[in-house]
């Protein structure tokens, strides 16, 4: 089956290694996840591939994303690194390949690496292409470079303490789906009074409320968890109906708390 849109939630694998990664992917797929997100930089593509092959779920039913690290953005490097990723993932293609970060200080021109990514798509190495951690201006530039070729997503940090409104709004205006990483703010949502209170109303955890709020904005959350009960709870969170009042209460939690902010990051919006 060809996916024309991103599944509504994904299983993130950042920081998962070895058997933890294998087991988490297999468990997520058995619970009903169909979107698995990894990256070259996570150094777990082999284990993610093992989890997928051992799950018994046909590959064509799984939406698999990987990301090209910023030291592989030259044209030949990008294609070669993607071939390496596919070998580790034990598949002949991924469903989505993202540029993990825009080239630091534009060392590699965007035309070069987005052109290479489009070549990879034409070669059938990846079904869809997209970007991650791109600013509003960089999204405009990417769209101008790619023209008719759709940008499937911009994957950026989104959680109740960092709504990332400007980037989310601009992407959606451009017709680019936003994928939200770190949706649970590395566990900080569990201690928030507002999320705890709203959770009580719905017989749900603060984590589930955070995921429901992200989904209510049309953003695809990709929470990471190794525990099947948490994975299931994250999946079930998509069915929690938040009232306008509850959403407004969560909106107020935004304090611009960016967690992923490496020294090579672009000049953020």
| 170 is an annotated ligand-binding site residue | no
- Report the distance separating Cα 171 and Cα 148, nearest Å: 16
Cα angle vertex 90, ends 35, 118, to 5°?
70
- Report the distance separating Cα 161 and Cα 215, nearest Å: 15
256 Rama sector, left if φ>0, alpha if ψ -120 to 50, beta otherwise: left
Burial class (CB in 10 A: 0-12, 13-18, 19+), 98: buried
At 154, list the tokens: 């911009």
Nearest to 149 by CA among 109, 102, 97, 107: 97
- Report the distance separating Cα 246 and Cα 209, nearest Å: 10
| Residue bearing tokens 């930089």 | 41
Catalytic residue among 33, 42, 113, 181: 42
Question: Are the C-beta atoms of 66 and 43 separated by less than 8 Å?
Answer: no
- Report the distance separating Cα 224 and Cα 238, nearest Å: 15
Q: Is 33 a catalytic residue?
A: no
Burial class (CB in 10 A: 0-12, 13-18, 19+), 265: middle
Catalytic residues: 42
Q: Which residues are annotated as a binding site?
A: 100
Q: Which residues are annotated as a binding site for substrate?
A: 100
């Amino acid at each position: 089956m060809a996916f024309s849109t991103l599944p509504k939630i994904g299983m993130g694998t950042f920081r998962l290694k070895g058997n933890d990664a294998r087991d988490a992917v297999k468990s997520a797929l058995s619970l009903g996840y169909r979107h698995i997100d990894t990256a070259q930089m996570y150094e777990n593509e082999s284990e993610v591939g093992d989890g997928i092959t051992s799950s018994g779920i046909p590959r064509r039913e799984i939406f698999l994303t990987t990301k090209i690290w910023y030291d592989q953005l030259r044209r030949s490097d990008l294609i070669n690194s993607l071939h390496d990723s596919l070998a580790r993932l034990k598949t002949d293609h991924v469903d989505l390949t993202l540029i993990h970060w825009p080239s630091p200080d534009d060392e590699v021109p965007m035309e070069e690496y987005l052109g290479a990514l489009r070549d990879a798509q034409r070669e059938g190495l990846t079904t869809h292409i997209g970007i991650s951690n791109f600013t509003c201006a960089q999204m405009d530039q990417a769209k101008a470079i790619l023209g008719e070729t759709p940008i499937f997503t911009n994957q950026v940090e989104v959680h109740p303490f960092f709504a990332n409104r400007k980037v989310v709004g601009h992407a959606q205006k451009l017709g680019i789906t936003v994928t939200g990483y770190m949706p649970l703010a590395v566990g900080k949502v569990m201690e928030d009074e507002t999320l705890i209170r709203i959770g009580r109303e719905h017989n749900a955890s603060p984590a589930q409320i955070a995921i429901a709020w992200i989904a209510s904005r049309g953003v695809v959350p990709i929470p990471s968890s190794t525990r099947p009960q948490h994975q299931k709870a994250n999946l079930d969170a998509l069915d929690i109906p938040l009232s306008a009042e509850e959403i407004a209460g969560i909106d107020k939690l935004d304090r611009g708390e960016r967690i992923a902010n490496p020294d090579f990051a672009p000049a953020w919006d």
